[in-house]
Structure 1
């Protein structure tokens, strides 16, 4: 593997934390970030992360074991904090001695961080505000990912560039901060590293890699798309705290709007509790994403993609993608 000295120097704290050659994480994309892509990213010097999503503990157990069979390099597991079996999923990670657990989707439930640390793993957290970031880092988070609204999947309301300017001057000296959202080229990586980030996270850039199991029709939809095709979902009812999701516009976008109305109606009739309503929305996304990624239904399924999708033009091996990103970053730093 080629060595990139300027980039490596700025990534060093992230490299030491992850145990990978480059401090480039793959975002956890349900149905996409599975054993094949995760292992390929780790084998190529990045840091793969299994997207647990709505998996049962049994499925996660099998996925971790299968990933271990494909790589001897470090990788992590992303767990959704609202998963009803979170405690059992953490236990599965413990049995496999997973080194890094990423907690996403909300504030970690009481005891979850401690349970992860009990088996020696590092905890990576997400935070949409600086105040929450500081709280999570004080409460045991070992590293933080700040993800802007340009990202694919579940998003917050603030852009990556603004989050970086707000968070990095406050946190970068004493904490490990990775930047995510809308990153498609190495020049952007260089800028965030110079601002104090220890690494970056990319999802969309890897979704159509040669090693990705995504259906050919799913990949073709990405190749045809440009940045403005990746739109955020609309919240229909203010009582239903639906986190916006960025995806390529299709019939599935309209179906989600209809699903929200259906769930809101159930809330009206008091036949559904709010927590269950939120779970129904999450299960909808899991099913819609599977239809697109696995079955190739790009009309009715969910084509979750970040705005960097316009930079995804062809199927490439993971190693080539990482090498290109590192080369672009190194060249950009060399011009400073």
Structure 2
């Protein structure tokens, strides 16, 4: 990778924290962010993150070991806070000496941050913060860094745009804390802007989903290349009692089926046949299955094509090393011109 002095200088805190050549993280995308893509990103100077998703501890154990066999560079593991075996998964990360654990999906349960940071192989904790109040709470609770992710992102999203979150949170937090910005970032020009605002680095998902090293099905990638920004739509909530986090994905039959799935689960709740926690878990299992159908099987009609609004900038398959180099070059160019 070439020498991008200005960009690297602004990223230095993030680089030191991650141990990578650049402070560019790859968002954890279920079925996509696995050993091949994660190792390729870390080898190319970025910071790959394994998407644990619904994996059990044995599967995660194998995935970390397989990733280690492909790279000697740092990478992280993303764990879902509502996973029923969260503490067992934390033990697997500790066993392998994973240096960074990313907690996503809600407020970390009691004792989880302490378990990650206090074991024989303590790791750094990165959390997602959708609001300033929650960001401050997470930092007080032991988070070493935060990702602020706007609604332009793919997958599970919050209600506020990246640009607004950055304006609200970076001036207040970035001087004393490590804040990474995510959501809607497709080019390095945007990276330059967030770095100038105080971000320690950035996270991109959609930009890497169709990389050459991504195992995503060819038809999945073609759907991304055909899509425009307006094709990546957020799911709707059909029942106020069912607190479903919106998901952004390319509109297809699968997005319509999710609406039907919510109605089905709400009806079961009406009959008091399941508890709320089980209802939410059913929704998460739906997404895991729908995502697998699209990513692995190539069912782009009925599967879930989770994508951020930056999808309109994707036009071709490129190696990870080229993607990272382009992002850094674009950022450097923007900073130089300024």
Give TM-score scaled by structure 1 length.
1.00
2:11 maps to which residue? Answer: 11
Q: CA deviation at 1:120?
A: 1.4
1:24 maps to which residue? Answer: 24
Large movers: runs of 4+ above 4 Å: none
2:37 maps to which residue? Answer: 37
1:331 maps to which residue? Answer: 333
1:172 to 157, 171, 174: 174
Q: Secondary structure at the match of 1:28?
A: coil
Q: CA deviation at 1:297?
A: 0.2
Q: CA deviation at 1:164?
A: 0.1
Give TM-score scaled by structure 2 length.
0.99
CA distance in 2: counterparts of 1:127 and 1:327, whole angstroms:
29
Q: How do 1:1-336 and structure 2 match up within 5 A? A: 1-118=1-118, 119-336=121-338
Deviations 1:74-107 (A, max 9, x none): 0000000000000100000000010000000000
Counting matched residue pairs gives 336
CA distance in 2: counterparts of 1:299 and 1:256, whole angstroms:
13
RMSD, matched Cα:
0.4
Q: Secondary structure at the match of 2:153?
A: coil
Q: CA deviation at 1:326?
A: 0.1
CA distance in 2: counterparts of 1:111 and 1:82, whole angstroms:
13
Q: Secondary structure at the match of 1:206?
A: helix
CA distance in 2: counterparts of 1:79 and 1:274, whole angstroms:
21
Structure 2 alignment gaps of length 5 or more: none
CA distance in 1: counterparts of 2:45 and 2:122, whole angstroms:
23
